[in-house]
Structure 1
């Protein structure tokens, strides 16, 4: 499968490496690039504020695509709150801006280091994904041969809890209570 990743920072590269390991063809786009066509699966490995620009610029190209939002919409000035309403999420806002796309929430509860190593505290790294069934199936299929576990976190409204979890994990790391190589682990 072909995968387009917006962003080539630590997260974009770590995510891309897992898709490549699973046998997918990965194409990276940066803010300097302009794409005329996008893959069936598109990962937005960008900061939360960039979602608006991408949604506006690529709305037509994203029609019918599965779009994965990895952002944590946190107030980076205070590190003390999410900047989306409590009854919504960045992913739900993005879905409203891209009504002809299938938006998923995933990777926001993972750090790049745990995606690179494939482990968190000795356990396999688990990617939680929220969204509609069709999109999650494509996402799961694309990661099937990677070293990651993928767990279904429910419909897109569960992105609220995923973003709260990502926010908590980031604040713990920023306050040096956990490392950026650690994080939450899900065991069965």
Structure 2
């Protein structure tokens, strides 16, 4: 019998974290919802239970304890919070998959906070050298999780990572959420993926997409 994996969503009460948690309510994973606001966590837990009363989920206030229990750790936090979290969970994330969903965008949405040769994912991998960092969900908006289909087309979710098995496991997770996974390559492609979403944010603001937009590769 296949062992159920535990996914810790660190930052579960944020828009992306909550959207991911709700999308996984009926999944084959055990969910561990982590946040710093107990009232918001309890509310999210109740919402997840309403989606699926048999959901295997719990909530927790400590990112270290959450990461220690998890097989897969999703850092559903802004780029500016990743470094501090990485230092906290480094000792308990050895050998585990750590998913970075962040985009290092400036407050005015005009560009990246990083130089053209750097990326949030590679910074995170350097901070967690013994973890398997995967870039995923950064090319999607929170509003897309509940409805990932646009005009009959399922939105793509791009992945990047250096560990093949970690990519396969993340690919399965993406499928359970409802997106079509596209493995873009190793972390060398990370900057492209982060810039893709920065561009989509800029286009969304300009063209009033109301945070409902996604990427799709069309091919024969």
Which of 12, 33, 39 aligns to 1:28? It is: 33
- What TM-score results when the alignment is normalised by the length of structure 1? 0.91
Query: Could you tell me whether the CA contact under 8 Å between 2:158 and 2:181 is conserved in 1?
Result: yes
SS in structure 1 opposite 2:146?
A: helix
Other-structure match for 1:187: 218
State the Cα distance separating 1:100 from its structure 2 match: 0.7
Other-structure match for 1:11: 16
State the Cα distance separating 1:118 from its structure 2 match: 2.0
Unaligned runs of 5+ in 2: 38-60
Q: Distance in 2 between matches of 1:46 and 1:121?
A: 30
Deviation per CA, 1:76-134: give whole Å up to 9, x if none.
1x321201121121000100011010111111110111121121343112211000212
Q: Higher helix proportion, which one?
A: 2
Q: Distance in 2 between matches of 1:47 and 1:106?
A: 14
Query: Could you tell me whether the CA contact under 8 Å between 1:5 and 1:42 is conserved in 2?
Result: yes
Q: Distance in 2 between matches of 1:13 and 1:117?
A: 14
Which of 111, 115, 137 aligns to 2:141? It is: 111
Query: Could you tell me whether the CA contact under 8 Å between 2:155 and 2:214 is conserved in 1?
Result: no
Q: How does 1:44-59 map to 2 (within 5 A)?
A: 44-59=75-90
Equivalent residues, number: 187
SS in structure 2 opposite 1:26?
A: strand
Other-structure match for 2:186: 155
Which of 82, 85, 89 aligns to 2:115? It is: 85
Q: Does 1:40 align with 2:82?
A: no
Which of 50, 54, 75 aligns to 2:106? It is: 75
Which of 130, 142, 155 aligns to 1:125? It is: 155
Deviation per CA, 1:147-166: give whole Å up to 9, x if none.
22111010011111000001
State the Cα distance separating 1:70 from its structure 2 match: 0.4
- What TM-score results when the alignment is normalised by the length of structure 2? 0.79
RMSD across aligned C-alpha pairs, in angstroms? 1.7
**Larger RCO: Structure 1 or Structure 2 (Cα < 8 Å, ≥ 6 residues apart)?**
1
Structure 1 ranges of 4+ moved more than 4 A:
none
State the Cα distance separating 1:30 from its structure 2 match: 1.1
Unaligned runs of 5+ in 1: none
